[in-house]
Amino acid sequence: MSKTPWWRGAVIYQIYPRSYLDTDGDGVGDLPGIIERLDYIASLGVDAIWVSPFFKSPMADFGYDIADQRDVDPLFGNLADFDRLLAKAHALGLKVMIDQVFSHTSVEHAWFKESRESRDNPKADWYVWADAREDGTPPNNWLSIFGGVAWRWEPRRRQYYLHNFLSSQPDLDFHNPAVQQATLDYVKFWLDRGVDGFRLDSINFCFHDAQLRDNPPKPEDQRVGRGFSPDNPYAFQYHYYNNTRPENIGFLERLRALLDQYPGAVTLGEISSEDSLATTAEYTAPGRLHMGYSFELLVDDYSVEYIRSTVEKLEATMRDGWPCWAVSNHDVQRAVTRWGGHPANPQLARMLVALVCSLRGSVCIYQGEELGLGEADVPFEALQDPYGITFWPNFKGRDGCRTPMPWTDQALAGFTQGKPWLPIPAEHRALSVQAQEADGDSTLHAFRNFLRWRKAHPALVEGTIRFLGSTEPVLLFERQAGDETLLLAFNLSGDTVRHALPAGEWQALALPGPVAGALEAGELVLPGNAVYCARRS
């Protein structure tokens, strides 16, 4: 295992800075707050942290609309704070990954302010500009993920600019070599500062079709995937031309060449395309991204058949690349609620952590998963997410998974001395870090114990995976590395089930964390949300 790159099989802990810990009383988390909690994070047994955007931004999309990729927004601190965070994390043995948003900027970015002034300035062709059609309408039928037309009129140029997300997030034109170089330059800025890697937001959105061809319509029965319900017109199209263009491959190879100059530095691409698994395999081929992850396990579908077929499809196509899996993040409803409903079931929470950490690949764990937090119910009047405000009430947006971390059971949860930017529900305060630290049987202790146990088994960190025949609700697979072969069985239901033990000689292992299954008369007995593990003798 010593020759294995640090990121292969790593557990990466995602921090949403706004909601981690506020140290200056403004109700918003900050970099000094992360620094203050790094010892806690290291105690979890994770290998790295991924810090969501903390760059200068007007915060229209809470940091994913960047106004300066080389500086920290005063809301979060300053560059000296980031350097202190980096130094302390490294001293604790934690790698540090940061978000990068290549495809677009904020309208407040200096590049865009210059670009929009005229058609002949030095940055005139740094963004995707297009003339109106003869009747004044946008140049094609492309739609924004956040609802409505993906084009915004700019009177200073008398042209439209493209925005795949909010209208305040104009898309850069990666067909321009100067844009590519400027992007690589600020990646180098952070590499030189000492970061260990990058999570690349919407990495397949960098390039658009240069001919601006219309996207074809999608039949009604196929309007599914990544939260794009029929309520959102974005689901009405096949997005063949506004993202995932072949030219992106060449840029990814340029990016990888830069990363290769920094031993150990890693890229993790977020991919959402018409066939995200195929794109993930393509983007993680040799000489491209180190890892990729998509939204396949961040959806509502929760069944043995779906999980098995999703992982097997990626395994069949990803011959040389490396996957990364997540069941929760800052963009989707928390998994323990999405797949288990209300109230949050602690046994389900423990089983889900064990499941995602047992698949082949690396893992992203979202802050609060170690506590078993469920989705918060944020009332409309407290919503901050523009996505949720637009599509309320059928879709409540992303605020429910972004509420502040509960450090204590007090009214403000030990998060702030001011008014928190989002409300903190009472049920989260009951699951606070302070309360769970004091309870040896808590989800938090189960999380730590499981990650410690996982590291002792090479088959789980770097081994192969092979699914075995099973019926709902039992997911069954083997992990194998060297002379170690592990059998793992997961009960996805809340009821006790029995299942035949696969052929072979198996020695049961005591797996800490989730409810344990058992063997009775040659048959697996799995209580609700239980896990069984055995080693081939």
Q: Is 99 a catalytic residue?
A: no
* Dist CA 528 CA 350 (whole Å): 12
CA 90 to chain centre: 22
Please report how the helices 346-356 and 443-455 are oriented relative to each other, as an axis angle in degrees rounded to 10: 20
Q: Which of 149, 110, 152, 101 is closest to 128 using CA atoms?
A: 152
Tell me if 443 sits within 8 A of 431, measured CB to CB: yes
Residue 372 gets which letter from DSSP? Answer: T
Chain centroid, CA 178 distance in Å: 29
Alpha helices in 227-321 (DSSP H): 248-259, 276-283, 304-317
Question: Given 22, 61, 173, 201, which residue is catalytic?
Answer: 201
Angle at 349 between CA 346 and CA 354, to 5 degrees: 130
Residue 496: phi, psi to the nearest 5?
Answer: -70, 135
Give the DSSP H or E segment for 348: helix 346-356
Query: At 71, which helix (H) or strand (E)?
Result: strand 68-72
458: number of Cβ within 10 Å: 18
DSSP string, 240-260: SSSS--TTHHHHHHHHHHHHT
Token representation of residue 72: 């920290």
Kindly state the tokens that stand for 350.
């423990």
Catalytic (active site) residue 375: no
Cβ neighbours, 10 Å, residue 148: 14
Could you identify the residue written with the tokens 């069985």?
Answer: 489
- The residues facing 51 across adjacent strands are 15, 98
* Catalytic entry in 61, 73, 99, 270: 270
What is d(CA 19, CA 42) in angstroms, rounded to the nearest whole number?
18
C-alpha separations of 17 from 33, 227, 336, 419 in Å: 8, 24, 22, 16
Known catalytic residues are: 201, 270
